[in-house]
Amino acid sequence: MERLKSTLSRFPKARILDVGTGVGNFIPLLAETAGDFTSILGIDQSENAVAAARRNFPDDPRIRFERMEAAAMTFPDAAFDVVALSNTLHHLQDPVPVFRAMERVLAPQGILLINEMVSDGLDDRQVSHRELHHFAAAVDTVLGIHHEETYTRVRIAEVLARISTLAVVDAWDGVFPEGPEPSAEEVEQTAATVDRLLARIKDENVRESLRERGETVKAYVRAHGFAGVTQRFTVLSRRP
């Protein structure tokens, strides 16, 4: 991730905020590429997610987590050099207030770092990840949880241009080392994600309405294997 390292190297002793951090999945990459950062603070509206994130990062006092609504942050203006949002854009029902809050707490020369999984230009194994994720979005939707399907690269750019007052200054596809071919057991465990998702739906009729789609996803995973989808990084900063 040399391009991300180069981007973050502009901010020695960086103060970093990770919005919608969940269990902290984006934190290791931020910590690895930010060098000698001062602090990384992850916020999420879910107390359970924040508790899990704290358990995941017990040893570095520079990494902390707080429960906080993204659109109602209590931080002072210009408190962070880097404000990150990873794989959260397609979960936001009303992203504008969130982006205004992120822009408010961003230092004048700071950057917004948006990381978002993409739905286009994927190989056969990556399509498995996309279809599982889109199935999860369908389950969330029937449960009343806002969760859109993931965006194409063009759609990500369009959404950011519409909702942010900052300018896009860079964008690229993240390149991660390709892992080993998954074993048959690992593929089957991945396919079983469909059943775990369906089990969240208590209404039997609603659950059965999604079962055929779920079986199609499982068949695809078993036929093609599984790999993580491509991640799109976008950097925004204040207009000159």
State yes or no: pLDDT of 157 exceeds 80: yes
Comparing CA positions, the residue from 201, 218, 88, 71 lying closest to residue 151 is 88
Q: What is the pLDDT of residue 175?
A: 73
Helix (H) or strand (E) holding 107: strand 106-117
The 10s digit of each residue's pLDDT in 34-86 is 999 999 999 999 999 999 999 999 999 999 999 999 999 999 999 999 999 99
Average pLDDT for 143-158: 97
pLDDT at 103: 98
Spatial separation of the C-alpha atoms in residues 227 and 160, rounded to whole Å:
27
Closest CA to 29 of 12, 8, 55, 54: 8
Of 163, 151, 21, 144, the closest CA to residue 83 belongs to: 21
Taking CA atoms, 101 is separated from 67, 87, 91, 155, 164, in Å, by 15, 18, 17, 22, 11
pLDDT digits (tens, 9 = 90+) for 192-235: 999 999 999 999 999 999 999 999 999 999 999 999 999 999 99
pLDDT value of residue 239: 74
Average pLDDT of the chain to the nearest whole number:
96
Average pLDDT rounded to a whole number, residues 115-139: 97
- Domains of the chain, each with CATH number or no CATH: 1-117 (3.40.50.150)
Q: Is 52:73 a contact under the CB 8 Å cutoff?
A: no
Is the pLDDT assigned to residue 240 strictly greater than 70? no
